Chains A and B, each alone.
Chain A
């Protein structure tokens, strides 16, 4: 079945860039998402990309998609302490239906 994998932890210094990686197996994935979860809270959509795109930029966030390698990344420029959270990659075949989530990457930002 479909599988989405992420590394579990990432630690960066405040002001540096963070890059969170994700790989997926379903070649039929049409939509790929990045969600942020702060402690004790629900999931907040950060951004998403269609499978026919290679890159999407939204302020400090840059999403890169390598469809051949089924690899998705999220780059956060000028990382701040408020960016400390768990980041989930997710994919679906139809617009946000039946999301398949990765395990989540816990980002820790230190001063």
Chain B
């Protein structure tokens, strides 16, 4: 199993550009989520999904869109990038049901918005 994979690893955007951060998992996990990590602030939840076709907002959803058309993929879209979105983005997944107590994190995407 590859686990949780994210592409790209690094990205530089100009203000106003759009892009999609890709996330995929091969563990058949129902639950997937996106976090951003900023210095001195820990990780904050952006959006999450409990299964294909179902998404919901986390703590800091503004400026980001998500969709979940398959169990495996959970892309994060920035429609009009802003410098405040410069951050490291982590995708995570976990199984649903009793005993699934761990979120597995991807390696992250470092995004810089100029």
Contacts and interface: CB of A to CB of B under 8 A. Distances in A.
Nearest to A102: B42
A103 B101 CA distance: 21
Interface in A11-30: none
A41 B107 contact: yes
The 5 closest A-B pairs by CB, nearest first: A101-B42, A42-B105, A43-B105, A101-B43, A95-B101
Given A42-B4, A42-B107, A98-B48, 17 more contacts: A4-B42, A41-B108, A42-B108, A43-B43, A43-B92, A88-B43, A95-B94, A96-B94, A96-B102, A97-B31, A98-B33, A98-B45, A99-B35, A99-B43, A100-B45, A101-B43, A103-B41
Contacts of B42: 4, 88, 101-104
B90 interface: yes
Interface string A27-64: 00001000100000111110010000000000000000
Interface of A: 4, 8, 31, 35, 41-45, 48, 88, 90, 95-104
A48 B90 contact: no
B103 interface: yes
Contact of B40 (A8, A45, A88): A8
A95 B31 CA distance: 11
A96 B48 CA distance: 12
A48 B43 CA distance: 17
Given A88-B43, A98-B45, A99-B43, A42 B102 contact: no
A98 B60 CA distance: 12
Interface string B76-114: 000000000000001010100010111111111000000
A65 B4 CA distance: 30
B44 interface: yes
Interface string B23-48: 00000000101010000111111001
A48 B101 contact: yes
24 contacts: A42-B4, A42-B105, A42-B106, A43-B43, A43-B90, A43-B92, A43-B105, A44-B105, A45-B103, A48-B102, A88-B43, A90-B43, A96-B31, A96-B94, A96-B102, A97-B31, A98-B48, A99-B35, A99-B45, A101-B35, A101-B44, A103-B40, A103-B41, A103-B42
